[in-house]
A and B are shown apart, each in its own frame.
Chain A
Amino acid sequence: MIVALFVPCYVDQFYPQVAIASLELLEKAGVEVVYPPKQTCCGQPMANSGFEHLANSCNELFINNFSGFDYIVCPSGSCTLHIKEHLHADKQEEKAGEIRRRVYELTEFLTDVLKIEQLNAKFPHKVGMHQSCHGQRGLRLSQMSELNAPAFSKPGKLLKMVEGLELVELDRVDECCGFGGTFCVAEEAVSVKMGKDRVEDHIKHGAEYITGGDMSCLMHLEGILRRQNSKVKVKHIAEILNSQ
């Protein structure tokens, strides 16, 4: 099995430790991982801004980088969802379809494909889990509070395998943090207010760390925590699952 590691652009540039942790996690599970070096971005920033029609060259590049692998794995629910739902290319539509079927978010790849039942990880802290909306409602990584349906959580299942980790309860288990891509600057006031309210919920319940499957949400929450001089830190779930 050869897996291509798809690293979101902002993770590549600002949070390389998240990509390293993802790579190491997959390698530890015995997977052969390849990082296509010419990858840039999934094109979501343009598409969510309404400029899907300008993103063709970006889509072509993505297809050239990620065709021909058994799986494509990404430590982001949002980027994975974008590829799954919106990767198209006039000239290479068949290849685009292959990629849409083979792309997985990291935690669902660990639980559903590799069927991981135990992890050799230790993280003795109180942790709050922030569900990214695209991971949760888009990829169905965990049950959403809106539905009358049985509970489950793929990232939650993995976090339970981490020694010493205590998950804190939240008042609002799956409320959006307000990042929302360009929303975070275009609607700055509401975005920040949403982020402040999320942070408050975690702090109130004693979280030392806020984790999640999307570094973009966490980057936004981190920006707010730092401005408040809070001791609470953010950590991507890959880092926690890979911690010793």
Chain B
Amino acid sequence: MTNYADKDHASLAEKFNVDEPRVNWHDETLWWVRVKRDKASKSLPEWELLRETASQIKNNVLSNLSEYLIQFEEEATRNGITVHWAADAKEHNEIVHGLLQKHGITRMVKSKSMLTEECHLNEYLQQQGIEVIDTDLGERIVQMRKEPPSHIVLPAIHLKKQDVSDTFHEHLHTEKGNYDPQFLTHAARLHLREKFLTGKLALTGVNFAIAETGEFVVCTNEGNADMGAHLADIHIACMGIEKLLPQRKHLSVFLRLLARSATGQPITTYSSHFKKPRKGQEMHVVLVDNGRSIQLGRKDFRNSLKCIRCAACFNTCPVYRRSGGHSYHTAVAGPIGSILAPNIDMKQYADLPFASTLCGSCSNVCPVKIDIHDQLYKWRQVLMKEGYGSTVKKMGMKGMTFTLSHPGVYHFAGNAGRWVLRNASFIVNNKLNPWYKQRDMPSPPEESFGEWYKKNRK
């Protein structure tokens, strides 16, 4: 797995920007998805009402989470599903491993689950000698390349078909230099089909779980979750505790929002309901907290738990489109990842709330109306107050506050600054000034507005 330790968003993004044509391609590809989302959302007159309704349903869920979890467990158990509770990533991974061990299984097929990425399940299981096969095509590609997904809906969106061709040539021995997407998908299909047919245990994610009925819903476009679950003797579904909905009827709101927000489709190709194991099959649900209860307790940030992982905020984010998912060095990248990650580790992810211009586009595409950009601003306050900023930055801010709190100092500094720019511009026009690297400095006027006003008014 690529090691992003000690790297921050700005330096990883700078690296991503070395290849400008590729950045353009990445930006345009994701913008195209955003445009598709716009078209789909504007085809529904009730779109804004749907968003508001979804947001309110999730408010109810978050305010009554413990009751709904218990209700879900009771109903699911009644249906014949075994329910497990995991306080953190470690417990989650151990539960999955325990089930594999119990049945003596050493290979597992897995459909897309950002939760297992968050818990680093693949690495954990590999260390235990388990082979994990990601069956979502994008995830399989990045898995072969030993990379994490760069996007939660489109895991391999940072790759071009040429990259995929090279990867398949290396791992599946396909014809070198054949970039035909149809050829490549066919190769993937054959490769995965064999894995599905021999898979004894399938793990899936969960998009929604219904407290009322004890069922869960998995949405995919490739049908890989179904293929895995239907062929395997054991189906494990892993979900964050915030994925609950009170009643089945609420799905009608969320299923209409999810795919339109994610890709501009009216609905995912497969929206599969799993309620009880078929005869002879075992079905397990792992309910995972991993910091969610803590986030629920943070007044300013609890709304982030409404997220349904559609990635609309990724696709609209002008920073994400030009920095790539890996620059966020966390499982869930983009604007939503930047408000989720500091909850888990403030030190490691202190840079992420700053990887934004606070433009606010994210909050307005969000299908559950999470105030993402306001939370980015609030995380900045928390992180600096808790001391996760550099001393240099803090001193700089103190100096700036002093200057801006004293009109005399401000006027003196302004005059001095403009004088320097006019008469000794080399002091700022150099490599040490990040503004000047690719931009000219503004031309300083002889007098400030304040000085002009004194002469020309009153």
Instruction: Give the B-binding residues of A (Cβ under 8 A).
Output: 7, 9, 11-17, 19-20, 23, 35, 37-41, 43, 45-55, 57-58, 60-61, 133-134, 137-138, 144-149, 172, 174-176, 178-181, 183-195, 197, 219-220, 222-224, 226-227
CB distance from B323 to the nearest CB of A (A): 5
Report Cα–Cα, A176/B452, bound state, in Å.
32
Asked whether B360 is an interface residue with its Cβ less than 8 Å from the other chain, the reply is yes
Cβ–Cβ contact A137 & B435, under 8 A: no
Asked whether B445 is an interface residue with its Cβ less than 8 Å from the other chain, the reply is yes
Report Cα–Cα, A92/B23, bound state, in Å.
48
Cβ–Cβ contact A144 & B10, under 8 A: no
Complex partner residue of B17 from A11, A137, A193, A227, CB under 8 angstroms: A193
Which single residue of chain B is at the shortest CB-CB distance from A193? B322
Q: Specify which chain B residues have a CB less than 8 angstroms from the CB of A40 in the assembled complex.
A: 403-407, 410
How many A-B contacts are there with CB distance less than 8 Å? 213
Cβ–Cβ contact B357 & A183, under 8 A: yes
Cβ–Cβ contact A149 & B48, under 8 A: yes
Report Cα–Cα, A197/B48, bound state, in Å.
30
Known pairs A11-B449, A20-B452, A190-B322. 8 more at Cβ < 8 A?
A: A46-B404, A51-B401, A53-B381, A58-B405, A61-B404, A133-B358, A146-B361, A223-B442
Which single residue of chain B is at the shortest CB-CB distance from A16? B449
Complex partner residue of B10 from A60, A186, A197, CB under 8 angstroms: A186
Complex partner residue of B401 from A17, A48, A57, A149, CB under 8 angstroms: A57
Complex partner residue of A176 from B14, B357, B383, B401, CB under 8 angstroms: B357
Complex partner residue of A51 from B355, B384, B449, CB under 8 angstroms: B384
Complex partner residue of A14 from B353, B377, B442, CB under 8 angstroms: B442
Cβ–Cβ contact B38 & A145, under 8 A: yes
Asked whether B167 is an interface residue with its Cβ less than 8 Å from the other chain, the reply is no
A12-B450, A35-B453, A197-B27 known; A183 vs B442 contact (CB < 8 Å): no
Report the count of interface residues on B (CB-CB < 8 A).
Answer: 77
Asked whether B186 is an interface residue with its Cβ less than 8 Å from the other chain, the reply is no
Report Cα–Cα, A45/B322, bound state, in Å.
24
With most chain A CB atoms within 10 A of its CB, the pick from B356, B365, B447, B448 is B448
A12-B414, A137-B361, A193-B322 known; A223 vs B437 contact (CB < 8 Å): no
Which single residue of chain B is at the shortest CB-CB distance from A131? B359
Complex partner residue of A133 from B17, B359, B407, CB under 8 angstroms: B359
CB distance from B411 to the nearest CB of A (A): 9
CB distance from B150 to the nearest CB of A (A): 15
Report Cα–Cα, A48/B23, bound state, in Å.
27
Report Cα–Cα, A38/B47, bound state, in Å.
48
Report Cα–Cα, A57/B404, bound state, in Å.
9
Asked whether B116 is an interface residue with its Cβ less than 8 Å from the other chain, the reply is no
Report Cα–Cα, A223/B442, bound state, in Å.
7
CB distance from B449 to the nearest CB of A (A): 4
Q: Specify which chain A residues have a CB less than 8 angstroms from the CB of B120 in the assembled complex.
A: none
Q: Is the interface of A mostly helix, strand, loop or mixed?
A: helix
22 contacts between A and B (CB under 8 A): A7-B449, A11-B449, A14-B443, A19-B453, A39-B407, A40-B404, A41-B410, A48-B377, A61-B407, A133-B361, A137-B364, A138-B360, A146-B316, A148-B45, A172-B31, A174-B361, A178-B357, A179-B357, A186-B354, A187-B10, A187-B354, A190-B10
Q: Specify which chain A residues have a CB less than 8 angstroms from the CB of B443 in the assembled complex.
A: 14
Q: Specify which chain B residues have a CB less than 8 angstroms from the CB of A194 in the assembled complex.
A: 318-319, 322, 357
Report Cα–Cα, A50/B350, bound state, in Å.
11
A137-B360, A227-B439 known; A46 vs B377 contact (CB < 8 Å): no
Q: Specify which chain B residues have a CB less than 8 angstroms from the CB of A222 in the assembled complex.
A: 440, 442
CB distance from B31 to the nearest CB of A (A): 7
A11-B449, A12-B414, A35-B457 known; A57 vs B405 contact (CB < 8 Å): yes
Q: Specify which chain A residues have a CB less than 8 angstroms from the CB of B406 in the assembled complex.
A: 40
Report Cα–Cα, A144/B402, bound state, in Å.
37
CB distance from A171 to the nearest CB of B (A): 9
Asked whether B444 is an interface residue with its Cβ less than 8 Å from the other chain, the reply is yes
CB distance from B361 to the nearest CB of A (A): 6
Report Cα–Cα, A187/B457, bound state, in Å.
41
Complex partner residue of B449 from A19, A60, A61, A137, CB under 8 angstroms: A19
Q: Specify which chain A residues have a CB less than 8 angstroms from the CB of B10 in the assembled complex.
A: 186-190
Cβ–Cβ contact A190 & B319, under 8 A: yes
Asked whether B172 is an interface residue with its Cβ less than 8 Å from the other chain, the reply is no
